[in-house]
């Protein structure tokens, strides 16, 4: 049990370090100019046209964000790249450690966490979360759920595109961590290891909820904790190398931060009392 917990801690620590280094470059593309503020008017209803157009707009923003990065953003991206390269160099030995520590407990943890990165299960789960927000009249829960759905869809699309370019072999093929078949369309899932789609989806959704409920003492750590366990499940199940998980988590985290930005034009800065509204006012549509 202690060996299993040690492996989980190492996996989550590596991913946590990466997300901390990001900070996040994509988020800075939505930074506001001094003296102006964009009110948060992300959609709280699935029937809101802004939700559907927002997916297309934000996809474009995500894909083009490197063009708008400043020097500090590139430094952060470089730092993340070095962390990924470090993991890449140690992928084989880290895989051996993870499989040596694999047991009934780690398998149970992996089985419970895996669905939170599986799009076919995560999207319906987020849909249920949205419906719960409708049922109990909770605008923030609806908004977080819709933002998470959008973030997961974009993260899945970007991760899927990179997979088609890299075609990295998965660990269970036992042919080493340095096998890349290069760009091609399709191909078996056994050659779609980089980056981890599960990690990207889990961290994209976690970022949406953590940002929406940023003042909560439980939601952010719970969200990222579940995402971290989801990433660990892929290492435990021998489906991904650690570097796949680190880059996937960084991708999901960055996309989640980008999607969380306000979507309307900036306005003159309101009085200080309006900049920091009381908690009840956040629950209004």
What residue ranges do the domains of the chain occupy? 2-25+68-263
Residue 211, pLDDT score: 92
Whether the pLDDT of residue 265 is over 70: the answer is no
Residue 42, pLDDT score: 63
Element (H, E) at 283: none
Q: How many CA atoms lie within 13 A of 193 on its CB side?
A: 29
SS3 call for 95: helix
37 bridge partner residues? 267
Whether the pLDDT of residue 263 is over 90: the answer is no
Whether the pLDDT of residue 84 is over 70: the answer is yes
Q: What are phi and psi of 267, to 5 degrees?
A: -130, 165
Q: Which of 75, 53, 61, 4 is nearest to 27 (CA)?
A: 61
pTM to 2 decimals? 0.80
Whether the pLDDT of residue 8 is over 90: the answer is no
Give the residue-averaged pLDDT of 135-164. Answer: 94
Q: How sure is the predictor about 51, in pLDDT bands with cuts at 50, 70 and 90?
A: confident
SS3 call for 167: coil
Exposed e or buried b per residue across 210-236, where buried means at least 16 C-beta atoms within 10 angstroms of its C-beta: bbbbeeeeebbeebbebbbbbbbbbbb
Whether the pLDDT of residue 117 is over 50: the answer is yes
Best CATH choice for the domain 2-25+68-263 from the list 2.60.40, 1.20.144, 3.30.70, 1.20.58: 1.20.144
Residue 278, pLDDT score: 42
CA distances from 114 to 72, 120, 155 (A): 34, 11, 17
Give the residue-averaged pLDDT of 134-162. Answer: 94
Residue 112 and residue 124: Cα distance in Å, rounded? 16
Whether the pLDDT of residue 182 is over 70: the answer is yes
């Amino acid at each position: 049990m202690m060996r299993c917990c040690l492996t989980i801690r190492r996996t989550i620590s590596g991913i946590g370090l990466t997300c901390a280094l990001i900070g996040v470059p994509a988020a800075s593309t939505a930074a506001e100019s001094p003296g102006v503020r964009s009110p948060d008017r992300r959609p709280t209803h699935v029937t809101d046209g802004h939700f559907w157009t927002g997916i297309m707009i934000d996809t474009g923003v995500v894909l083009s964000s490197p063009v708008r990065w400043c020097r500090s953003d590139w430094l952060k991206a470089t730092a993340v790249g070095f962390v990924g390269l470090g993991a890449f160099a140690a992928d084989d030995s880290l895989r051996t450690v993870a499989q040596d520590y694999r047991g009934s407990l780690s398998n149970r943890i992996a089985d419970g966490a895996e669905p939170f990165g599986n799009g076919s299960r995560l999207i319906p789960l987020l849909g249920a979360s949205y419906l719960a927000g409708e049922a109990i009249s909770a605008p923030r829960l609806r908004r977080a759920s819709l933002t998470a759905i959008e973030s997961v869809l974009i993260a899945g699309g970007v991760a899927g595109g990179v997979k088609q370019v890299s075609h990295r072999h998965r660990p269970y093929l036992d042919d080493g961590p340095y096998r890349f078949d290069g760009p091609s369309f399709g191909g078996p899932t056994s050659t779609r290891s980089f980056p981890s789609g599960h990690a990207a989806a889990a961290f994209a959704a976690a970022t949406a909820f953590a940002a929406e409920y940023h003042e909560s003492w439980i939601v952010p750590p719970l969200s990222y904790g579940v995402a971290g366990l989801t990433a660990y499940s892929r290492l435990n199940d021998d489906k991904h190398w650690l570097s796949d998980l680190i880059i996937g988590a960084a991708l999901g985290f960055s996309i989640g931060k980008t999607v969380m930005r306000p979507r309307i034009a900036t306005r003159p800065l309101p009085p200080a009392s309006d900049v920091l509204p009381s908690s009840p006012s956040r629950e209004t549509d």
